[in-house]
Amino acid sequence: SEEYAVILSVLQRSLAADDRRWTRVAASIKGVTEETTTGVHRLYEMQQQGTLLFPAINVNDSVTKSKFDNKYGCRHSLIDGINRATDVLIGGKVAVVFGYGDVGKGCAESLRGQGARVVVAEVDPICALQAAMDGYQVATMDDVVGTADIFITATGCFDVITSEHMARMKHQAIVGNIGHFDNEIDMAGLARRADVRRINVKPQVDEWRFADGHSVIVL
């Protein structure tokens, strides 16, 4: 992703100036905390690989975090973020939530509370069944890519929404990520397309206009 590329560039310059700097920094760290589901998975991977250099506290799996902040915090912040960024009327629109974990549940609930018709895309059959039992339509991206108005990713996975998907979306569809990494939406692939022009609307809100005249708004 663009942000990750910037981080790597900064680290490369730092190591070129002093290749022992981060070794010294790691030795002085007493511990770290991680409060996201995907981030905790990454830390466990590092521990298994022997690359975790200091203790890490798994805050995310505390019940008072994962069962409250993930669901109820996101239920509040998603609508607040969309309203501040776009000021669109959500009622009556078709909104797709990718992932029906705790975060996805909160997102779906908040969008339905605003009057949107919510569709859930979920690869896990148990979570998909939960979504169906909660009254949501369960569908795939290909089922809804050309008709939905709002797309929200909450999976922690890679390339959930690709540039090819965005090329097929309706005019001024809103695309946003509330998951852990910004590569849930393929922004790097979108930026590489010669047929797309980026127009900055306001901080953290960009309109990406395709050659055919349609555009998507990425938060």
In this prediction, what percent of the chain has a pLDDT beyond 90?
Answer: 86
Looking at the structure, tell me whether residues 58 and 78 fall in a common domain: no
Looking at the structure, tell me whether residues 42 and 83 fall in a common domain: no
Instruction: Determine how β-strand 215-218 pairs with β-strand 205-210.
Output: antiparallel
> What is the arithmetic mean of pLDDT over 173-194?
92
Looking at the structure, tell me whether residues 11 and 47 fall in a common domain: yes
Confidence label for 1 from pLDDT (cuts 50, 70 and 90) = low
The model's pTM is 0.82
CA–CA dist 176, 149 (Å, integer):
11
* Residue 156 confidence (pLDDT) above 70: yes
- Write down which residue in 32, 47, 65 finishes a domain: 65
Asked if 187 and 5 count as a contact pair (C-beta separation under 8 A), the reply is: no
* Residue 181 confidence (pLDDT) above 90: no
Looking at the structure, tell me whether residues 214 and 112 fall in a common domain: yes
Looking at the structure, tell me whether residues 59 and 161 fall in a common domain: no
pLDDT at site 30: 95
Q: What is the mean pLDDT of the chain?
A: 95
Looking at the structure, tell me whether residues 77 and 160 fall in a common domain: yes
Q: How many domains does the chain have?
A: 2
- Write down which residue in 49, 65, 81 finishes a domain: 65
Q: Which domain holds residue 55?
A: 2-65
Asked if 81 and 219 count as a contact pair (C-beta separation under 8 A), the reply is: yes
pLDDT digits (tens, 9 = 90+) for 66-119: 889 889 999 999 999 999 999 999 999 999 999 999 999 999 999 999 999 999
What interhelical angle do 2-17 and 21-28 show, nearest 10?
100
pLDDT at site 182: 75
CA–CA dist 32, 212 (Å, integer):
48
Q: For residue 92, which of 148, 52, 132 has the smallest C-alpha distance?
A: 148
> What is the arithmetic mean of pLDDT over 33-52?
92
- Write down which residue in 65, 96, 111 finishes a domain: 65
